[in-house]
Amino acid sequence: MESLAVAAIGYIISSVKSSKGGKAASDEMSNAIWNWIKPIFIKEDKELINQFEKNPEDKDMQTEMKLRIKRKAKNDSEFASQLSTLIERAQDAGETPTEITVNQYNIHGDNIGRDKIIRSDD
């Protein structure tokens, strides 16, 4: 579900960025993905959707949207199937999603015998 969510958010960001400011969006399938997902999530958290549309490049918003998509896909197989189909159509159409950085955590041992987590935003 992680890769499905990452691909989805990449296409969604492409759609939101290209339509920002009233411009016609260039990627038809990216728009289809966003237009399909937006009503689903706006019921749950309208403010999140509004903030995401205002600033789709905000890493925290991207992470939150990715987690929501991942959670929904994990709990709703029909949603996951439809999303997967839309992503496949976008790929077949030659569209490329916006690349996003997924927060990664590297684990390093220390001298005390405990592990500490160091966040890496590469």
Distance in angstroms (rounded) separating the CA atoms of residues 53 and 60: 13
pTM of this prediction?
A: 0.66
Q: Which two tokens stand for residue 20?
A: 């920002």
Distance in angstroms (rounded) separating the CA atoms of residues 35 and 5: 16
pLDDT in tens, 61-106: 888 888 898 999 999 999 999 988 888 888 887 777 777 665 554 4
pLDDT in tens, 19-74: 554 344 446 777 888 888 888 888 888 998 888 888 888 888 888 888 898 999 99
Continuous segment of H or E residues that includes residue 106: strand 104-109
Continuous segment of H or E residues that includes residue 49: helix 46-54
- Torsion angle of alpha carbons 104, 49, 40, 89, nearest 10°? -60
pLDDT value for 77: 93
